[in-house]
Structure 1
Amino acid sequence: MSRIRSTDTTPERVVRALLADAGVHYRLNVRDLPGKPDFANKRRKFAIFVHGCFWHSHDNCALASDPKSNRSYWQPKLEKTKARDLAHLERLKELGYRVLVIWECSSRKPETAAEQIADFFED
C-alpha cells in the first residue's frame, strides 16, 4: 500500500489536462477546504474531486471490486471513506461551493470526463 499515490495520479493528470483544455483556472489539493479537493477555485467557488473507484467504493463499477480477503478490515475502512466523502461534499455545499466528482473509470474515457467537465462549467 505504500506505493499507492495520493496526489498526481494518472486520473488526476487526465482531468488536469481536460481542465487546461477548457481554460479553467484552479488550485491543486486545496488544504483549507473540506476534503482537500483535487482541484478548486475559491473565487469561482467550485471543487472537483477525482476518486479512485476501489478506494471510494464506486457503485456498480468493475474497478470497485469487493475485497475477498481480510473483509473485516476492508469493509469498515471503505464504508468510513464513503461516509467521510459524503460529509466533505455536504460541508462544501454549505460553504456555497459547487462540487463535481469524477471517477477513475470516467477518466479512462477522456471524452466522458470532458463531457462531465463541460456540463459542470456550463452555468
Structure 2
Amino acid sequence: MVDHVEKEKRSAMMRAVRAKHTAPEKMVRSAAHRLGLRFRLHRADLPGKPDLVFPKLRTVVFVNGCFWHRHPGCKKTTTPKTNTEFWLEKFEKNVARDQVTYQKLETMDWKVVVLWQCEVKTIAAASDQLLRYLDVRKRSS
C-alpha cells in the first residue's frame, strides 16, 4: 500500500505527536479530578515520568497510545506498510523500555497501572478504568 501523504507532510505529522498532555491523558486527568483524587503529573524523579502519580495510593498511571506502545489485540495497533523494518524495531524498543520502567517502579514499591488510549475515550470510561484499578470508591461531590 502506498502512503497517500507526501514524505515531508508525514514527517511533520509524526513530529506533532505529543508525549505529554495528550487527549487520552487529559481525559484520565479529568476523570481522576471528578473522582476527587489527588495526583501529580510527570514526576521526573520516577522512572518513565508516569503520566499521573497518586502518592497517597503509591500508584502510577501510564496512559499509553495503542499504536506506539502496541496494545495487544487493538485495531489501532497497526504497522506502517513503508519502512516496516524501522517501525518494527522502534515498536519493539518502546515495549521493552516500558517493561523495564514498570519493573523499576514495582521494585520501588509502586503499583503500576497502564490505561490504553482506546479504553479511555470518554470521562465515564476513564472513571471506570480508574475505579477498576485504584483502591478507591467514588467520592460524592
Q: CA deviation at 1:17?
A: 0.5
Give structure 1 regions of 4+ aligned residues with deviation exceeding 2 angstroms.
41-44, 109-113
Q: CA deviation at 1:109?
A: 4.2
Aligned residues of 2:66 and 2:117 also touching (Cα < 8 A): yes
Q: Tell me the equivalent position of 2:84.
A: 71
23, 26, 29: which one aligns with 2:39: 26
- Kindly indicate whether residue 15 of structure 2 is the aligned counterpart of residue 2 of structure 1: yes
- Kindly indicate whether residue 103 of structure 2 is the aligned counterpart of residue 103 of structure 1: no
Aligned-partner residue type, residue 68 of structure 1: K
Q: Which piece of structure 1 moves more, 39-48 or 106-115? A: 106-115
Kindly name which structure, 1 or 2, has the bigger radius of gyration based on alpha carbons.
2
Q: CA deviation at 1:2?
A: 1.4
CA distance in 1, matches of 2:38, 2:116: 21
Query: In the TM superposition, what are the counterparts of 1:17-56 in structure 2 within 5 Å?
Result: 17-56=30-69
TM norm structure 2: 0.82
Aligned-partner residue type, residue 6 of structure 1: A
Structure with a larger share of its residues in helix = 2
Determine what percentage of the aligned residue pairs are the same residue.
Answer: 35
SS at 1:12 equivalent: helix
CA distance in 1, matches of 2:34, 2:56: 20
Aligned residue pairs total 123
Aligned-partner residue type, residue 61 of structure 1: C
CA distance in 1, matches of 2:95, 2:65: 12
Unaligned 5+ segments in structure 1 are: none
Query: In the TM superposition, what are the counterparts of 1:83-94 in structure 2 within 5 Å?
Result: 83-94=96-107
> C-alpha root-mean-square deviation of aligned residues, in Å?
1.3
Aligned-partner residue type, residue 21 of structure 2: D
SS at 2:60 equivalent: strand
Unaligned 5+ segments in structure 2 are: 1-13, 137-141
TM norm structure 1: 0.93
